[in-house]
């Protein structure tokens, strides 16, 4: 605060000097607008932390399951449970092979197809309150411990630049490449849920591009996007439909309002994040005439106990109108993510 107070008059002074001398910044190819400066290699290195499936990007270092167990106990167990078994934040262990079944459990072992992703995630994002505070050795050790919790590596495993990419995750082959988009006759990769209540009667297409339009500007992209069949038409012409942002077209969707008001940080329509899935909320209050008013008050005041121990913080930022619209959308049961 005091830094700002000191700084303010000088900033004002600088503005006045500029005015007095009638200084006009010269824009040239060499100086651009005179703003900023090129990032230094050290600055770029600070951001360039991604680790790829083949291990590219892994820093030197090593860590064992036993070392990981110790660090995990100090820095991670409070949220994830002693054995990675606490589902309240993100369950890390178990669940292997469950994703295709009727009660899927998303965990490191069930979901990730590459162990390098685990390293990358811990390295960039954990521990939650203090990301990027771990050394490479610690991240290797934590990766080893978490993988051992699901018996993916043995208890004496030591992971490093060479051994980590060799770990074969149980879900290695469980991922598919954009069906629909990437194969000409595949199914769509979007699985929208059918709207059940108060649905729009007619979808209004606001703008459309004639066949050949993309070809004119981007060349023949049919090889990159097979299935986007706009090229070399034979038979019926196809249309690429583009809905432009037209504020007169329709009021923002419930989802857009939830997003605008920060609700989607904790709520998804179809699965629990920190808060319950909106679909589950709709199911719980189905037929309850008081639900709208009750939930309005609850969201405003926040609180815990209905869906678990984790509280929802008071949502004071959302306007009455937005809250009404979001909750009607939630309770309609037709909540879908666009």
Q: Contact positions toward ligand HEC, by CB under 6 A?
A: 75-76, 78-80, 89-90, 92, 106-108, 111, 118, 121-122, 126-129, 142, 261-263, 265-267, 274-276, 281, 295, 298-299, 303-308, 310-313, 315, 318, 326, 330
Minimum CB distance to ligand HEC, residue 327 (Å): 6
Q: Which is nearer to ligand HEC, 107 or 269 (CB)?
A: 107
C-alpha 149/C-alpha 44 separation (Å) is: 35
**Chain-centroid distance, C-alpha 95:** 21
**Length, in residues, of the chain:** 338
Q: Which is nearer to ligand HEC, 176 or 265 (CB)?
A: 265
Q: Which is nearer to ligand HEC, 71 or 214 (CB)?
A: 71
Q: Which is nearer to ligand HEC, 237 or 311 (CB)?
A: 311
C-alpha 228/C-alpha 231 separation (Å) is: 8
Minimum CB distance to ligand HEC, residue 240 (Å): 34
Minimum CB distance to ligand HEC, residue 249 (Å): 24
Nearest CA-CA partner of 307 in 270, 259, 274, 261: 274
Q: Which is nearer to ligand HEC, 163 or 315 (CB)?
A: 315
Structure tokens of 82?
Answer: 């002693």
Signed CA dihedral, 217, 218, 223, 226: sign only: negative
Bond preceding residue 100 cis, omega within 30 of 0: no
- Please say whether the beta carbons of 299 and 315 come within 8 A: yes
Minimum CB distance to ligand HEC, residue 83 (Å): 13
C-alpha 128/C-alpha 86 separation (Å) is: 15
Bond preceding residue 127 cis, omega within 30 of 0: yes
- Please say whether the beta carbons of 18 and 81 come within 8 A: no
Minimum CB distance to ligand HEC, residue 148 (Å): 13
Q: Which is nearer to ligand HEC, 9 or 129 (CB)?
A: 129
Minimum CB distance to ligand HEC, residue 330 (Å): 6
Structure tokens of 106?
Answer: 């998303």
Q: Residue 298 burial by CB count (10 A; 0-12/13-18/19+): exposed, middle or buried?
A: middle
Minimum CB distance to ligand HEC, residue 146 (Å): 6
Q: Which is nearer to ligand HEC, 88 or 232 (CB)?
A: 88
């Amino acid at each position: 605060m005091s830094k700002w107070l000191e700084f303010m008059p000088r900033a004002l002074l600088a503005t006045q000097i500029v005015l007095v001398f009638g200084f006009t910044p010269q824009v040239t190819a060499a100086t651009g607008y005179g703003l900023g400066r090129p990032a230094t290699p050290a600055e770029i290195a600070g951001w360039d932390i991604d680790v790829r499936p083949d291990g590219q990007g892994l820093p030197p270092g090593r860590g064992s399951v036993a070392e990981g167990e110790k660090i995990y106990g100090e820095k991670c167990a409070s949220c994830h449970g002693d054995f990675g078994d606490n589902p309240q934040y993100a369950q890390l262990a178990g669940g292997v092979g469950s994703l295709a079944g009727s009660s899927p459990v998303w965990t490191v072992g069930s979901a990730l197809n590459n162990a390098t992703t685990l390293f990358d995630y811990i390295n960039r994002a954990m521990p939650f309150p203090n990301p990027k505070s771990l050394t490479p050795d610690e991240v290797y050790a934590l990766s080893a411990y978490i993988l051992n919790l699901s018996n993916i590596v043995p208890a004496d495993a030591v992971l490093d630049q060479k051994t980590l990419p060799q770990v074969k995750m149980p879900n290695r082959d469980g991922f598919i490449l954009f069906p629909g988009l990437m194969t000409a006759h595949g199914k769509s990769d979007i699985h929208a849920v059918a709207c059940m209540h108060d649905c729009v009667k007619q979808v209004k297409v606001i703008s459309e591009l004639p066949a050949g339009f993309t070809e004119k500007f981007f060349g023949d992209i049919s090889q990159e996007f097979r299935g986007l069949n706009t090229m070399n038409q034979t038979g019926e012409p196809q249309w690429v439909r583009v809905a432009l942002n037209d504020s007169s077209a329709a009021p923002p969707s419930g989802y857009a309002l939830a997003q605008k008001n920060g609700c989607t940080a904790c709520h998804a329509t179809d699965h629990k994040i920190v808060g319950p899935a909106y679909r589950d909320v709709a199911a719980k209050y189905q037929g309850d005439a008081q639900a709208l008013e009750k939930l309005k008050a609850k969201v405003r005041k926040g609180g815990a106990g209905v869906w678990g121990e984790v509280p929802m913080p008071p949502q004071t930022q959302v306007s009455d109108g937005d809250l009404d619209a979001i909750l009607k959308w939630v309770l309609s049961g037709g909540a879908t993510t666009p």
